[in-house]
Chain A
């Protein structure tokens, strides 16, 4: 038998297997017409905004309350930093609502709700099937260990691992939050034009979506030295078919008082079997729910709260710490003589690669989780707090085992 018979034989494998590649061809046909935008400014926004707020404490979305373990006193403290948006759009029967934004100068957190269509057919997977696959994949058996079946089910979906049946659930990809005001029609048209201009054969183009990031970068991102984002919390209620997400963006530049475009282009419905299989992302087999991205526009218009400190070492300023009630940015300036090398004193601070913790005057210690890409070669480190930090009650700040020597920076 010749080795190349393998290639010929693969073309003759059972038809049902070949159908696996049929549902969503890898090379999607290029979009030529942007889809009409359906952008609804929800009436509730008008009700909740401004003068209608007669309550002592206004409504905070549960995502914020649970993620930051908020007390009523903290809600009052942060009232100005919270913005009601309640912008809504529907795409392919999927309704996305941007409910509230909590922000400061360099970090912006959004509370999103995504409602799947009632008509969407879903199934369930039994606990036995999941356990069998977990065994086959050799997932960690300790329920507390990262990557274990229990952790995957409870952390992302909020499912109780003791359930006997696990409903199919959605997987939401990256929520893009970009400091630019582009309506969907314009965004897709620009992305389409960019895609067409690429010097690659049409058959090899994967579609207009890949170009959206490049278009936005050209429009708005060049002014930022660093711009990142991620997820704080996501959960899914199969009964109401509601996915909730708390996502954030952070930057070295100011994020307040500017328009934003929120873009979601990855939303799939997965069986739990498909979801637990890979380590990082759900595997193939998901049902794509969007034929066109969800795009929402809003303007960040909240009152940022933050306190900036100089970090001292031997009396000299070696960096800055910008602390807000929900996040922190640590910045170390580049060495002018060698921009690629970290300053020795910076190494001293960062070698523990530890999280940041804030000690309050009442003895309470609040942990902030490091969310930047790692320390070794970065100027900035970004942290999200596990609880609300009352800036007026900060006593000291520690990075790993180091207590930072701080002085309030001059405005």
Chain B
């Protein structure tokens, strides 16, 4: 079923919307959550929460891309679950946190400040060629391992690491210029 039709089902408060979302995006949500949580049990619970969350958000929200919307919610729920876990399992997110020199995933800060930070990251990404944008997002949004990025892009892992290093450096410079001290 097309995304627009699924969104209409949400607006019509038809529970079929949830079934269709699950049918279409369960693999996608599972892969995102698993990379953050590295636990099947937690992933399953998290993805169940995603559908409830989507049900409670649409309406009034009408997403432009249902997939991006569902992916965003999965991210947020999985990150919250990761943060609140007592015993931490090493996951793909853990690797990314280390790579970004972030010692711990803390509770999100001030919402306005975070939205401005997100806007500046978007501005920065738009200065990059699409190939680099994709590498950045695969690594720091999807938490994809280098091997998966290699498979997707055809680039060697050394080259991907180099590109990521350069982009981190450039992003840091860009954010500092915009007044962010990370």
Q: A274-B130, A284-B153 are in contact. Are A25 and B31 (CB under 8 A)?
A: yes
In chain A between 274 and 301, which residues have their CB closer than 8 angstroms to a CB of chain B?
A: 274, 277-285
User: Which single member of A9, A14, A27 contacts B31 (CB below 8 Å)?
Assistant: A27
- Give the chain B neighbours of A9 by CB distance below 8 A: 114-115, 117-118, 121
Cβ contact within 8 Å between B68 and A284 = no
Are A11 and B155 touching (Cβ within 8 A)? no
Inter-chain contact A6/B100, CB cutoff 8 Å: yes
In the complex, what residues of A have CB within 8 A of residue B69's CB?
A: 15
With known contacts A19-B65, A27-B148, A2–B155 Cβ distance under 8 A: no
Contacts of B43 in A (CB 8 A): 203
Contact with A along B22-48 (1 / 0, CB 8 A): 000001101100110000100100000
Q: Which residue of B lies closest to A133 (CB)?
A: B129
Instruction: Indicate which residue in A1, A26, A203 contacts B109 across the interface (CB closer than 8 Å).
Output: A1
Q: A22-B67, A281-B153, A283-B131 are in contact. Are A11 and B31 (CB under 8 A)?
A: no
The answer to whether A7 touches B100, judged by C-beta atoms less than 8 angstroms apart, is yes
B60 within 8 A of A: no
Given A21-B141, A278-B131, A278-B159, check contact A13 B122 (CB 8 Å). Answer: yes
Q: A1-B182, A10-B118, A11-B76 are in contact. Are A204 and B131 (CB under 8 A)?
A: no
Any B CB within 8 A of the CB of A17:
yes
Give the number of A-B contacts (CB < 8 Å): 174
CB nearest neighbor in A for B141? A10
A284 touches which of B114, B117, B130 (Cβ 8 Å): B130
| A284 & B122 in contact (Cβ 8 Å cutoff) | no
Set B28, B117, B138: member contacting A6, Cβ < 8 A: B117
Question: B104-117 CB contact bits vs A (8 Å, 1 = yes)?
Answer: 11101110011101
Q: A123 within 8 Å of B by Cβ?
A: no
Q: Which of B121-145 contact A (CB under 8 A)?
A: 121-122, 125-126, 129-135, 137-138, 140-142, 144
Please report the C-alpha to C-alpha distance between residue A5 and residue B182 in the assembled complex, in whole angstroms: 9
B79: chain A residues at CB < 8 Å are: 7-8, 11
Residues A13 and B76 in contact, CB atoms below 8 Å apart: no
- Chain A residues with Cβ below 8 Å from B119 are 13-14
B154 touches A173 (CB 8 A): yes
B177 within 8 A of A: no
Interface of B is mostly: helix
A27 nearest in chain B by CB position: B31
Distance (Å) between the CB of B30 and the closest chain A CB? 6
Q: Which among B96, B103, B108 has the greatest number of chain A C-beta atoms within 10 A?
A: B108
Q: Which residues from A are CB-within-8-Å of B149?
A: 26
Cβ-closest chain A residue relative to B133: A20
Distance in angstroms between the alpha carbons of A179 and B160 in the assembled complex: 33
Q: Does B180 contact A (CB under 8 A)?
A: yes
Q: Which residue from B68, B75, B103, B106 sits with its C-beta under 8 Å from A19? A: B68
- The reply to whether B102 and A6 contact each other, CB–CB distance below 8 Å, is yes
The distance in angstroms between the C-alpha atoms of A277 and B151, with both chains bound, is 17
Instruction: Give chain A residues whose Cβ lies under 8 Å from the Cβ of B154.
Output: 171, 173, 266, 278, 281-283
- Asked whether any CB of chain B lies closer than 8 Å to the CB of A29, the reply is yes
Chain B positions within 8 Å of A133 at CB level: 129
Closest to A173 in B: B154
B164 at the A interface (CB under 8 A):
no
Q: Find out whether the CB atom of B137 lies under 8 angstroms from the CB atom of A14.
A: no
Instruction: Report chain B residues within 8 Å CB of A284.
Output: 130-131, 134-135, 152-153
Complex alpha-carbon distance, A266 and B153, angstroms: 11
- Residue B72 CB within 8 A of the other chain: yes
* Chain B residue contacts of A5, Cβ below 8 A: 108-109, 113-114, 117, 182
Provide a sorted-by-A list of 20 A–B residue pairs whose CB atoms are within 8 angstroms. A1-B110, A2-B109, A7-B102, A7-B105, A8-B76, A10-B121, A10-B141, A12-B115, A13-B141, A14-B119, A15-B64, A19-B68, A20-B130, A20-B133, A22-B67, A26-B138, A26-B151, A277-B131, A283-B132, A284-B152
Interface residue ranges, B against A (CB under 8 Å): 27-28, 30-31, 34-35, 40, 43, 63-65, 67-69, 71-72, 75-76, 79, 93, 96-97, 100-106, 108-110, 113-115, 117-119, 121-122, 125-126, 129-135, 137-138, 140-142, 144, 147-149, 151-156, 159, 180-182
